[in-house]
Amino acid sequence: DSISVSSAGTYWVDAILNGCSARDSINVQEIPLPVVSLGPDLQVCPGGTATLDATTAGGSYLWSNGAATPTLSAGVGTWSVDVTVNGCTGSDAATISELTPPSVDLGPDTLLCPGETLLLDVGSTGASYLWSSGTTGPSITVTSAGTVSVTVTDAQSCTASDAITVSFADPGSISLGPDISFCAGDQVTLDASVAGASSYAWSDGTWGPVLSTSVGGTYWVQITQGNCLIGDTIELYAVPSPSITLGNDTTLCPGETWELQVPATGLDLEWQDGSQGSSFVVDAAGEYRVIATNAAGCSDTSTVQVSYMGANAFNLGNDTLICAGSSLILDAGLPGGSTQWSGASTAPTPSIPVTATGIYIATTTVAGCAFTDSIQVSVIAPPVLDLGPDINLCTGSTLELSVNAPSVLWDDGSTAAVRTIDQGGAYWVQASVNGCTSTDTVSVTEIPLPPVQLGPDTGLCSSELLTLNVSVPGGSYLWNDGSTAAERSVPPGTWHVQVTVQECSARDTIQIGALPSPTLQLPLDTILCAGTTWTIDVNQPGSSYLWTTGSTSSSMMVSDAGNYGVTVDLSGCTASASVEVGYVDLSQFDLGPDTTLCPGNTLELHVDIPGASVLWQDGSTALQRTVASTGTFQATVSVGGCSAQSSVQVDFTPVPLVFLGPDRTMCIGDTVLLTIDPGQAQPVWSTGGNGNDLNVTTTGAYSVSLALDGCTTADTVLLTFRPVINQLDLGPDQEVCSESPVIVDATIPGAAYTWSNGSHQPTLALTEPGIYSVVVTGPCINVSDTIVITKGNCAPVVHIPNAFTPDGDEVNDVFAPVVFEPVRSWTFLIFDRWGELIFSSDVPGGAWDGIVNGRDAQVGVYVWDLHYEAVTSGGVVQKRQRGSVVLVR
């Protein structure tokens, strides 16, 4: 037995057994619980901590965060602790909360205008303050740039801080610099960038810190910096640059000099060699340059390339070798020169293709200077290689490739004359003689042996065939019976086949044993007359039967149309066949009712009975015929011994045909009478009339239709009425000069023309005086007219050539207009391609010999202008002509 005690004291118990007793006792002492006190709840500044103390003599500790120390440094939250002394535990808890810190905000960084101040006020009462300047009040006035900070402490000793950067706008920070003089066309960039600026406004209306311009003038900028405006002004002066040119690039003869001139005043001229002056004498090839600079420092540069004809510009190169079959181009051309070859070639062209051995000599003449050079060309024959045509190689076979040539190199790096190949691929060999190389390639295609598989030996019903297929792409086939097909259906027996693909062959054999098979032959498909029966018997000893009707009898009685099939099975070998049985009822056969047709219509008669034959009254046997004439049409149809007959009467309504004649063209004022014979039919004209005649006087399409018993016929004719043309005007009489023909036009659409000069064209181009008349005829046309052409007051004709060759051969050496009549005044001018006047003459026949400033003029096109006056019978005539002439040397 047991008892529970809850208070201190001495406790004893007596135990009695069989009259005997025993006693025991125990003293229980009560131990007081430890007293634990963490004190009242606490408050801390943001981020701060407080110390909680649970110290108890002889105690052990367990905090809510697991710590086992008497004290705990704790932040915001609720904290509890268990203290155990002599096995008895006491507990307490405390809450730490966060104080609200003071609020401090100095605002954003600030930009002040010069002279402005900024008042900073944190405005917290009952607190202490410390500014970065050492001031301890709640506000401060800022008068200079820099960073200002403050720390505020409240009554709970919690602190907060803030800082602000104060800057001052500086008008002196913007400077566009001194006024600028620049060369016209150059770009000037003005940069007004200022730190802290929010906008830039320029005097030309643009915005942004940078302005680029090529125009002179006064420019200012206004800059917004914070709430302040600052700016600057600058003057830009555009100075014109000089313009000079040394002319076009030129080629000179050996020993010739050329004076380059720059006719300019007020310019400093510096040539490429550092010399100065308005001219420079050229006596060597090269590029010549002059820089012209004006007083403002603006400059212009011109260059000209001068070349000299000389031996160093004419070189055919060293003697050389070429391989047979190749070509070498020799070029002896020089700008403006003519070339004549001699030796192995006599060609007159600057460049020639060379394919043969020989010495080739070229002489090129430029501006009277002749240059000659020669070259020895030798043709070397390359070695002859031939690997033969492309070839096939069967898998497992080998092939030898061989060549007879020195310095052999195969594609695999080997150098032997003979190479053995055992697989497909492209093989090439190369041989060289005196640097001339030949290469030949042969393609070897490896052909795998064709796959041939007839399958395992097997047995086959004697009436069956086994399909054997050995088809392979590109294959040919040979069976033991001589067949060459890829696929065979064969009876029992021994069969073998050889398959060949591109000369590579493989073979296989199959043994097919013969099994007994039933024989089966059903009658042909049959058509029976309605109400009859038919018995089909396929009895074979030892066989079983299965009909498509489900019957297993050896015979089948047929009384309905359908397909009847049977399978006969003899020891596993089967034979199947079927027969189609049809029944026909000809009692409904009918060609249709008697019919009356309109003229031109037809009637189609059909016999739509499967398996039927037909016999018409005229002996024809077609199942379909087209009726196009009056009569009685009778057909007799027969199917499977059954027959029937039907007939139909066909008639045609007698509507007459109508014809208005061909389309016609008449003159306005004519009348056309359209007439028809309608018979019993009712006519209806397109004009709305119903008579037998119609008078027509206007253009249009006219039609008529005839109707009788629902049948109609119709016709249409197009009548065109043209206006009558009774007047022709060739215009007033005219004057003509031989160089300007007079165009006379008598065109009338659809007409024919007969002129007094024999022409039949609608227009004439007349160059001779005379009286010209024309007669114009056609539908509704018969007119004529006459015009008189007289000689006009014409200037003399001047003939001017379009090319000349001033080469001293006394043939076409000069260029001049030719006039065969007297003139009173004459001005003939010639200009080069730059518009410079190079020749003038005031004498008829004055000729230009192709010389300019004592030198031969360059080959090219030149422009001429001719103005002259002549006295004719009609008075004074002035004329101006312009054109061009080609100078050829």
For residue 550, name the pLDDT band (cuts at 50, 70, 90). very high
- DSSP H helix total and E strand total for the chain: 0, 77
pLDDT at 494: 93
Of the pLDDT bands very low, low, confident and very high (cuts 50, 70, 90), residue 469 is: very high
Domain presence at residue 441: no
How far is 536 from 531, CA to CA, in rounded Å?
17
User: What band does 564 get if pLDDT is binned at 50, 70 and 90?
Assistant: very high
Highest mean pLDDT among 496-500, 597-601, 874-878: 496-500
DSSP secondary structure string for all residues of 847-870: -B-SEETTEEPPSEEEEEEEEEEE
- Decide if 452 is inside a domain: no
The answer to whether position 385 is within a domain reads: no
**What are the angstrom distances between the C-alpha of 761 and each of 740, 747, 755?**
20, 9, 8
Same structural domain, 691 and 741? no
Q: What is the pLDDT of residue 544?
A: 92
Q: Among residues 168, 189, 205, which one ends one of the domains?
A: 168
Give the tokens for residue 571.
Answer: 């020891």
Asked if the structure places residue 443 within a domain, the reply is: no
pLDDT at 324: 85
CA-wise closest residue to 428 among 409, 452, 451: 409
Sheet order of strands, 268-271 included: 250-252, 299-308, 286-293, 268-271
**Contact by Cβ (8 Å): 637, 614:** yes
- Under a CB-based contact definition with an 8 Å cutoff, are residues 151 and 161 in contact? yes
Most confident of 25-34, 234-243, 325-334, 627-636: 627-636
Q: Are 301 and 241 in contact (CB under 8 A)?
A: no
Q: Which of 541, 590, 534 minimizes the C-alpha distance to 568?
A: 541
3-state secondary structure 523-551: CCCEEEECCCCEEEECCCCCCEEEECCCC
Q: How many CA atoms lie within 13 A of 111 on its CB side?
A: 13
Together in a domain, 746 and 699: no
Mean pLDDT of 361-373: 83
HSE of 479, CA atoms in CB hemisphere, 13 A: 19
* Same-domain status, 475 and 485: yes
Listed in sequence order, the residues at least 6 apart from 889 whose beta carbon sits closer than 8 Å to its beta carbon are: 805, 806, 807, 856, 859
Residue for token pair 């002599």: 86
Question: From CA 655, how far away is CA 644, in angstroms rounded?
Answer: 36
Q: Pick the last residue of a domain from 746, 774, 791.
A: 791
**Phi and psi based region of residue 123 (left: phi greater than 0; alpha: psi -120 to 50; beta: remaining):** left
Please tell me whether residue 171 adopts helix, strand or coil conformation.
helix
817 in Cβ contact with 840 (< 8 Å)? no
Domain at 504, CATH number: 2.60.40
Q: What are phi and psi of 173, to 5 degrees?
A: -80, -15
Q: Are residues 712 and 749 in the same domain?
A: no
pLDDT at residue 427 greater than cutoff 90 = yes
CATH of the domain at 196: 2.60.40.10
Is the domain of 576 the same as that of 594?
Answer: no
Could you identify the residue written with the tokens 């497992």? 396
Count other Cβ atoms within 10 Å, centred on residue 29: 6
818 lies in which domain range?
Answer: 798-887
The angle subtended at Cα 434 by Cα 429 and Cα 436, nearest 5°, is 50
The per-residue b/e assignment along 576-589, b for 16 or more CB within 10 angstroms, e otherwise, is eeebebebbebeeb
220 with 147, same domain: the answer is no
* Residue 104 falls inside a structural domain: no
Instruction: Give me the DSSP letters along 44-103.
Output: E-TT--EEEE---TT-EEEETTS--SSEEEE-SEEEEEEEEETTEEEEEEEEEEEPPPPP
Mean pLDDT of the 388-414 span: 87
Q: Which distant-in-sequence residues (6+ apart) come within 8 Å of 191 by Cβ?
A: 209, 210
Q: What is the pLDDT of residue 72?
A: 92
pLDDT over threshold 60, residue 288: yes
pLDDT at position 368 is 73
The whole-number pLDDT of residue 674 equals 94
Output phi, psi for 646, to 5 deg.
-150, 155
Give CA–CA dist 676/705, Å, rounded: 10
Q: pLDDT digit string (tens) for 179-207?
A: 888 888 889 999 988 877 888 888 888 89
Nearest-Å Rg of the Cα atoms of the chain is: 64
Question: Which tokens is 219 given?
Answer: 């420019």
Beta-carbon contacts of residue 121 (< 8 Å; ≥ 6 apart)? 138, 139
Please tell me the distance from the alpha carbon of residue 268 to that of residue 260, in angstroms, as a whole number: 16
> Both 555 and 498 in a single domain?
no
Q: How far apart are CA 259 and CA 624, in angstroms?
A: 109
Shared domain check, 739 and 760 = yes
- pLDDT at 822 (0 to 100): 87
Do 68 and 5 fall into the same domain? yes
CA nearest 762: which of 779, 739, 778?
Answer: 778
- Count how many Cα atoms sit within 13 Å of the Cα of residue 499 in the half-sphere of its side chain: 24
Percent of the chain with pLDDT over 90: 40
Residues 90, 13 share a domain:
yes
CATH code for the domain in which residue 858 is found: 2.60.40.1220
In the chain, the amino acid numbered 452 is V
- Report if residue 520 sits inside a domain: no
Listed residue (244, 248, 243, 242) closest to 836, CA to CA: 248
d(CA 217, CA 238): 8
- Per-residue confidence at 314, pLDDT binned at 50, 70, 90? confident
Average pLDDT over residues 636-659: 87
Look up residue 221 and give its two tokens.
């900028």
Which residue type, as a one-letter code, is found at position 708?
A: L
CA 660 to chain CA centroid, Å, is 61
The answer to whether residues 488 and 504 touch, using CB atoms and an 8 Å cutoff, is no
Q: Which of 188, 298, 293 is nearest to 239 (CA)?
A: 298
DSSP strand pairing (77-85 vs 60-63): antiparallel
Query: What pLDDT is recorded for position 384?
Result: 84
Q: Is residue 741 located within the same domain as residue 702? A: no
| Structure confidence by residue, pLDDT tens digits, 790-814 | 887 788 888 899 999 999 888 999 9
| 200 domain residue, yes or no | yes
Q: Is the dihedral of CA 213, 215, 216, 218 positive or negative?
A: negative
Number of domains present in the structure of the chain: 12
pLDDT, averaged across the chain: 88
Under 8 Å CB-to-CB from 854, ≥6 apart: which residues?
none
Cβ atoms of 370 and 378 closer than 8 Å: no
Cα 833 to Cα 626, 814, 865, distances in angstroms? 89, 19, 14
C-alpha to C-alpha distance for 273 and 264, rounded to whole angstroms: 20
Coil/strand/helix, residue 312: helix
Within a domain: residue 848?
Answer: yes
Q: Write out the two tokens for 264.
A: 């300019």
**Top mean-pLDDT range of 328-342, 401-415, 580-594, 830-844:** 830-844
Residue 215 has what DSSP assignment? S
My answer on whether 579 and 598 are in the same domain is no
Q: 282: which residues sit within 8 A by CB, 6+ positions away? A: 252, 257, 258, 259, 260, 288, 306
Closest Cα to residue 321, out of 436, 406, 223, 236? 436
What is the pLDDT, as a whole number, of residue 51? 92
Domain end among 791, 810, 839: 791
pLDDT at 721: 92
Best-predicted range by mean pLDDT among 133-137, 386-390, 481-485?
481-485
776-788: pLDDT as tens digits: 998 899 999 999 9
Assess whether pLDDT exceeds 60 at residue 312. Answer: no
Asked if 358 contacts 371 with a C-beta cutoff of 8 angstroms, the reply is no
